[in-house]
Copies of this chain bind each other. A is one copy, B any other.
Amino acid sequence: MTSVDVQTSTLDLGPARALSCRECGHQIPLAAEFACAECFGPLEVAYDFGTVTRADIEAGPKSIWRYKGLLPVPADVERFPNTDPGMTRLVKADRLAAALGVKSLWVKDDTGNPTHSFKDRVVAVALAAARTLGFSVLACPSTGNLANAVAAAAARAGWDSVVLIPSSLERAKILTTAVYDGALIAVDGNYDDVNRLATELAGEHEDWAFVNVNVRPYYAEGSKTLGYEVAEQLGWRLPGQVVIPVASGSQLTKVDKAFRELGELGLVDPTPYRIFGAQATGCSPVSAAFKAGADVIRPVKPDTIARSLAIGAPADGPYVLDSVRRTGGAVEDVTDAEVVEGIRLLARTEGIFAETAGGVTVATAKKLIETGQLDPDADTVLLITGDGLKTLDAVQDHIGPRATIPPTAAAVHEVLNRG
């Protein structure tokens, strides 16, 4: 936990006390800021946690708000309408474990969230903080899961939303955001253009909270709840190993932060854990840096079916390297063909249909085991953060019916006898 030196804010954001620069440590009062005025480093929420007990948490709501004492949200956060994400299933995955050759494996299935990805977690925290910070419009640039989550959360809260997407986005992804009836605006340009436009608009509109821009420090903290839930659902202990997909890298660093906080607060024994990052080879700047022993991430132009991970210049890449190296983990990457195989393997063994990012996680776990980087005897958790229903195009050329037959029992038997 970062200690807090500055005059604490009068805003009620629970245990949050300040924003602290990850690079230089400079602190400022809680506000809608995301970059350090001293060194331009990223700002992160710093806390003064009081006493938080397992009993307090277990008596809380069956959503991420059971951890409100560890998040930058008001004490009465659950009173305001929100999508109540979290407390998704932690599935003991014995059949996948057998297929991968590991002893004890769990899958954290975040497809059960309201819009079926982990983005509901970060958006719910961003919305709660944004309300306290005085915003009244929820906004984001996005190409998929985030757009769904922002539009749905704003609808539920009765806020206006502004969601900016590249105009080339597939129709299905447009529909799943448009249905919530916020201001969905298609921008002629690529994702970088959309992002630049969002940053410009965030500067102009003091009532617009771009969840992943001007309230990013709060938003990012939402990913800690994945770590808290894994530990609580394992019976209040840390797993030995966890494999996490890497896009911006924020999620991985926040799960690491969550595990450390739980240990420091005495909510779990601070047992050692190793954190592994998973990328698609077609967008693997963090994996490349890890393998090269470098500290600096060299940006790439993404080319992979795992579009929700296709961030070529990941902002938190260096911090991913820190987490992974400090805990004795690794970052690995897998080809698009392996991603499809990963999706199919998880579905076949556990009945969970993940989006491409989940395929990256499963396939990377497989590769880490095969290359001896992951210990097959340690308790291992895989984070599945999004839903296969949203990335049907990735599997459509690979799967289908076994056969098309006339409506007779004999024809059915023939298909089954074949194989």
Q: Which residues of A contact B (CB under 8 A)?
A: 62, 81, 83-84, 87, 89, 91-92, 94-95, 109, 111-116, 151-158, 162, 164-165, 167, 171-172, 174-176, 178-181, 183-189, 193-194, 196-197, 200-201, 204, 343-344, 347-353, 387-390, 392, 395-396, 399-409, 412, 415-416, 419
Contact = CB atoms under 8 A, between A and B. Distances in A.
Given A162-B412, A392-B175, A348 B180 contact: yes
A162 B351 contact: no
B152 A353 contact: yes
A194 B407 contact: yes
B114 A155 contact: no
Contact of A84 (B83, B89, B111, B412): B89
Contact of A183 (B152, B395, B415): B415
Contacts of A348: 155, 180-181
B176 A388 contact: yes
A156 to B, nearest CB: 3
5 contacts: A89-B114, A151-B351, A175-B395, A187-B404, A188-B407
A201 B347 CA distance: 26
A406 B193 CA distance: 10
Nearest to A166: B407
Contact of A162 (B183, B188, B416): B416
Nearest to A148: B353
A401 B162 contact: no
B162 A407 contact: no
B172 A392 contact: yes
B180 A114 contact: no
Centre residue among A84, A91, A350, A390 by max chain B CB count within 10 A: A350
A83 B350 CA distance: 8
